[in-house]
Amino acid sequence: LHRQQCSPTLWTFFLWCALHFVATYRPGISRYNYLVVNYTAPIMFLSSLLLFLYFINLEIKNKKTIRIINFFASTTLGVYLIHVNPLIWQKYMKNFAVGFLENTPMLMSLKVVFAAMAIYLTCSMIDALRIYLFKVCSIYKYCDNFSDYLEQKMWGGNTQS
């Protein structure tokens, strides 16, 4: 990673994070938390957009860093699918962080960040194992063959690639 100054986009993201923190933990404002902390909250969308705009222009030249990023990028969909799976959600995820509410806002925030990192890393390793098993067992070859078969049956093989 080459040294880069903090862009206005990243500063704006940090400002959004500070607003999120204040709006979440300021006494008397808790009835409006749904506007700030839900996945569909405008502040979440804007934070995501700002991070996207920052990282789209980031230049990474170190090959080892690129390999690490590509590894985690290849498992991201798997991470999502694992941790929102209804069985996983009901048994492990639902209400697992309720105890965090008993802490101070700063400690709770740290616990949330570390829990999110642990969940992401655990799910990444599970999906990396899935990817490895798919390669070893040639599952991708079978998927391609099945896809070709369906294409023949549904469209008579007259599709353009």
Based on its alpha-carbon atoms, the radius of gyration of the chain, rounded to whole angstroms, reads 21
Residue predicted with more confidence, 50 or 17: 50
pLDDT digits (tens, 9 = 90+) for 60-101: 889 999 999 999 999 999 998 988 888 888 888 888 888 887
Across the range 11-26, mean pLDDT stands at 67
* pLDDT band at 5; cut points 50, 70, 90: low
pLDDT at 34 over 90: no
pTM reported for the whole predicted model: 0.62
Across the range 27-56, mean pLDDT stands at 69
In sequence order, what are the residues at sequence separation of 6 or more whose Cβ sits closer than 8 angstroms to the Cβ of residue 96? 115
What is the per-residue pLDDT for 3? 47
* pLDDT band at 113; cut points 50, 70, 90: confident
